[in-house]
Structure 1
Amino acid sequence: MSGRVSRPSVARGRSMLMAAVFGAIAAGFLAQGALAQTAPAAVVPPIISQDDFFQTWRYALRAGDDETSLTLLAPQNGRRSGAAIIIAPGGGYVGLAANLEGRQVADWFAARGVIAFVLKYRYGAGHPLPQPIEDGERAVRYVRSNALALGVDPDRIGLMGFSAGGHLAAMTVSLSDAGDPAAADTVERVSSRPDYLVLAYPWLEATAVNTEGGSEYCRFAPMARLECNPQDYVAYTPLPGVVAKAPATFIYHTTDDGLVPVGGSVALYSALAAAGKDVEMHLFAHGSHGSGLGGGDAALGLWPQALENWLRTRGYFNKEPLAKP
């Protein structure tokens, strides 16, 4: 009998091997608590799609609706601190920079042991404010209500936003509440306030009405095919409401940002500092808008290092949370 193996047999063997590999990966992932715990209360939320190659999972924020979602990127090989971050990409509410300000950032956090979620929120035609902000609130509630199943510490859930996503994140804090214990939807029973906030070149003055009666949000609105009266959206300016509810906050911006003026970030920092809040800001002299994690610029590449130090000193990279004061 020949020692040769037919090509179909080889193909079947490879398929069986790959199935075994993915099965082992999934089993290890579940066992380490990133998707489920053994406790009966840990009901794994339904996954609407997954990528076995990159090991990502996508969850619908609302049952039966995959328009808004959270994509999970988990730390590998046991490097899980229990902390989580929800990342809202920018895009002027007319699109989403989901790679530059989403996937790349999530990978950065996951590599440091933080469970990362990229938020796909509503934008564009038919989705004016406050709909994107409602998605931010829902995202925080979703992760917190499913914390046990997702392997997350419900007291260490952060929210990070870039540009328009920064506006969304700040407004999520400003409008946050403790939840409705009587809500039929269990997600709505928990708090929408994140435990820490990271803002990167945030579009904080997007809805502020200028001296000419317009606003930046309404200037972008035609690209999203939205009718826009600036006065209808002025309430969605984060200051001063965000100050009263702000958790520990980190802000990054560049002084010569040509699209989103740095003044909004400076005003927020000043207000938080005056209120005695835990806030840290890093301003860089030069750098265009949309720099992500630095865009390869030697100077701007330092801001993620500053963020890492800030997070580490507050215990977000620890496997056990620091003792609460």
Structure 2
Amino acid sequence: MAPLRLDPEYAQHLANVMSLFGTQTPPRAKVGDVATRRTASDDLWPILMAQLPPTPDVEKTHLGHAKSFDGHEVPIYRFAKKGASQDTAAPAIVYSHGGGFIALSVELYSPLISTYVAMSGVQIFAMDYRLAPEVRFPAPLEDCYAALQYVHDNAVLFGVDVARIAVMGDSAGGGLCAGTAILARNRGLPLAKQLVVHGNLDDRNIKTSAWPELAQFATWSSEDNITGWDAYIEAGHEFKNYIAAPAAPARLENMSDLAPLYLDVPALDILRDEGIEYARKAARAGVEVELHVYPGVPHSFEVLCPRTKIAKAAMENRVRAMISF
């Protein structure tokens, strides 16, 4: 068996990107150290986002707030091309940002979300869901669902076709996106598509010894994964059937009637197998599935090295999925 290796072009670009960090290279944080990971993510993300091309034709608007299940007011933002007509019903996407359940924000994600809008022409609504461990499941997920409900309730105002609303997210946001799709099905809220990008889907993927062949490539490590899940789901939490799947979508047993699924995952990502298995289960349940596995790259490769051919291909595939419903 040939050893795993980085895509050569990606490896070359990565060396250049690492030089941008300088002394800001993130420290190796211990399991459970949320504060260090949050600070490192929030500090480094703007450096990565600065690699993306400007999007002067996209405007971001703070719309107000959506009310979550416990009365919390969730900030909602709309990203749309300037001058876009609101008189004709059009598709829309509700986006959940990444950050391991513990970090980042819509503000920090704005360049990436704006890039998706610029490339697709589809308006995106994003929410600042509450972060763990300050709040735990179900609050972050219910915040995402509240944003989806908000877009449905205000569809006419924003020129949105209620039959063409999708959810999308990456990393932890991908897990929240998949969980939102489950809630939408369970609660009877129409959903046109779910786009899960290298999502955190399975809380059981927390053994530090499970991925020795991937450890050298990990930009999202087993230690990070344990920390994120332990922050999101309280330690010792007893899963029961009615809450297990929305919290950790990989636990879902009945995947029938879910919205069509687009899912992609890097081959050098510890989340690879859970993503592939999620897509397989969905397909066997009769869900329309599109799956992409990108060889030679790790978690968040398209953000780390956006100018590589493989990153551009991934973005093009996502954009095609964004305009397909």
**TM-score, normalising length from structure 1?**
0.65
- Could you tell me how far 1:194 is from its partner in structure 2? 2.6
* Contact 2:302 2:312 survives alignment (8 Å): no
Q: Which residue of the partner structure matches residue 196 of structure 1? A: 193
Q: Which amino acid aligns with 1:299?
A: I
Could you tell me the TM-score, scaled by structure 2's length? 0.65
Contact (CA 8 Å) 2:98, 2:171: kept in 1 or not?
yes
Find the counterpart in structure 1 of residue 65 from structure 2.
Answer: 60
Tell whether the 8 Å contact from 2:126 to 2:147 is kept in structure 1 after alignment: no
1:241: Cα distance to partner?
4.6
User: Does residue 74 in structure 1 map to residue 80 in structure 2?
Assistant: yes
Alignment gaps of 5+ in structure 1: 1-52, 180-190, 317-325
Q: Which has the higher helix share?
A: 2
Shift of residue 83, structure 1, vs aligned partner: 0.5
With over 3 angstroms needed to count, the CA separation of the structure-2 counterparts of 1:219 and 1:112, relative to structure 1, is closer
C-alpha RMSD of the superposition: 3.4
The runs of 5 or more residues in structure 2 that have no matched partner are: 1-57, 210-221
Q: Hey, what's the Cα distance between the residues in 2 that align with 1:153 and 1:211?
A: 45
Relative to structure 1, the CA distance from residue 178 to residue 146 in structure 2 (aligned partners, 3 Å threshold; closer, same or farther) is: farther
Deviation at 1:211, TM superposition (A): 11
CA distance in 2, matches of 1:115, 1:77: 12
Does residue 1:244 correspond to 2:251, yes or no?
no
The residue aligned with 2:117 is 109
Q: Contact between 2:59 and 2:82, CA under 8 Å: does it hold in 1?
A: no
Q: 1:181-260 counterparts in 2 under 5 A?
A: 191-206=188-203, 219-220=227-228, 228-232=235-239, 235=244, 236-239=247-250, 240-241=252-253, 243-257=255-269, 260=270
1:272 pairs with 277, 282, 294, which one? 282
2:83 and 2:277 map into 1 onto residues whose CA distance is 41
Residue type of the alignment partner of 1:117: F
Once the two structures are superposed, residues 1-39 of structure 1 have per-residue CA deviations (whole angstroms, 9 ceiling, x without a partner) of xxxxxxxxxxxxxxxxxxxxxxxxxxxxxxxxxxxxxxx
The Cα shift of 1:120 comes to 1.0
CA contact (8 A) 2:198 2:263 kept: yes
Distance 1:230 1:217 in 2: 17
| 2:304 maps to 1:305 | no
Cα distance in 1, alignment partners of residues 254 and 160 from structure 2: 25
In the TM superposition, 1:16-31 aligns within 5 A as none
When residues 302 and 270 of structure 1 are mapped into structure 2, their CA distance, relative to the original with a 3 A threshold, is: same
Counterpart code for 1:303: A
| Partner amino acid, structure 2, of 1:308 | V
> Which whole-Å CA distance do the structure 2 matches of 1:173 and 1:267 have between them?
17
Shift of 1:230: 4.9
Tell me by how many angstroms 1:109 deviates. 2.2
State the alpha-carbon separation in 2 of the partners of residues 83 and 148 from structure 1: 12
Higher RCO (C-alpha 8 Å, min separation 6): 2
**Per the alignment, do residues 244 and 276 of structure 1 end up closer, same or farther by CA in structure 2, a change over 3 Å counting?**
closer
Aligned length: 247
Seen in structure 2, the aligned counterparts of structure 1 residues 209 and 61 have a Cα distance that, compared at 3 Å, is same
Matching residue's letter, 2:179 = M
Deviation sequence 1:150-197 (CA, Å, 0-9, x none): 111111111001111111111112222575xxxxxxxxxxx5453111
The CA deviation at 1:126 is 3.0
Partner Cα distance (2:229, 2:203) in 1: 11
d(CA) in 1 for partners of 2:266, 2:278: 15
Equivalent position of 1:282 in the other structure: 292
The aligned amino acid for 2:258 is A
